A and B are shown apart, each in its own frame.
Chain A
Amino acid sequence: GAGVSQSPSNKVTEKGKDVELRCDPISGHTALYWYRQSLGQGLEFLIYFQGNSAPDKSGLPSDRFSAERTGGSVSTLTIQRTQQEDSAVYLCASSLGSSFGNTIYFGEGSWLTVV
């Protein structure tokens, strides 16, 4: 597609429920990133994919968070048993490769509210 597409754009869920967030990167981009941004805060790295593999999962905050990528394209970020502190904007980004100086392109984000 023309840009990074994320869905849903907004999600309100009850504490304890599971949520799935989807990211469709720019066509041809092999690298895919998930970041989290809490209100008024910076960008917190969660996970990085190169193709279908995730060489760096170091940013996932707990074992309730997982992500996968299939076909080198679409990725889903799953949060199990959501907590209120999970409320944030989840930003997906993609880039052509994984070398120095890659420009990364962000999607509009999925705004998650846990009530």
Chain B
Amino acid sequence: GQQVMQIPQYQHVQEGEDFTTYCNSSTTLSNIQWYKQRPGGHPVFLIQLVKSGEVKKQKRLTFQFGEAKKNSSLHITATQTTDVGTYFCAEGSYIPTFGRGTSLIVHP
């Protein structure tokens, strides 16, 4: 699978602040998937992006796929304590290749 790099590795925010994590690849991605893993839990699928420049929203979460299909971002507006966890991007090939994840810590 292709290598996907995620930044930042950790992010501390105050509750109510926004949060963004970035996923980058040196080569074109066929698609990008995002997963969330709560502390002590297992990764859970959030969304998949396929088209160049695609933007999808889920409530306070906005997902973007770059025009060149080499990067993606997940943006959370007005974070809540329930957003705590590690967010992983993955190229959804026949063997999904995961980034190292961004751990979000929300301080009440």
- Nearest-CB distance from A36 to chain B (Å)? 11
| Neighbouring A residues of B94 by C-beta, 8 Å | 31, 48, 98-100, 102
Q: Chain B: how many interface residues by the 8 Å CB criterion?
A: 23
B88 interface residue (CB < 8 Å to A):
yes
A102 to B48, CA, bound (A): 9
Docked complex Cα distance between A108 and B40 (Å): 9
Contact partner, A45, options B42, B92, B95, B100, Cβ 8 Å:
B95
Encoded as 1 (CB less than 8 Å from any A CB) or 0, chain B from 92 to 104 comes to 1111111111010
- A100-B94, A102-B94 known; 11 other A-B pairs, CB under 8 Å? A33-B95, A40-B103, A43-B98, A45-B98, A101-B30, A102-B96, A103-B45, A103-B48, A107-B42, A108-B42, A109-B42
- Interface, chain A (partner B; CB < 8 A): 31, 33, 35, 40-43, 45, 48, 56, 91, 98-109
Which residues of B are in contact with A by a Cβ distance under 8 Å? Answer: 1, 30-31, 33, 41-45, 48, 50, 88, 92-101, 103
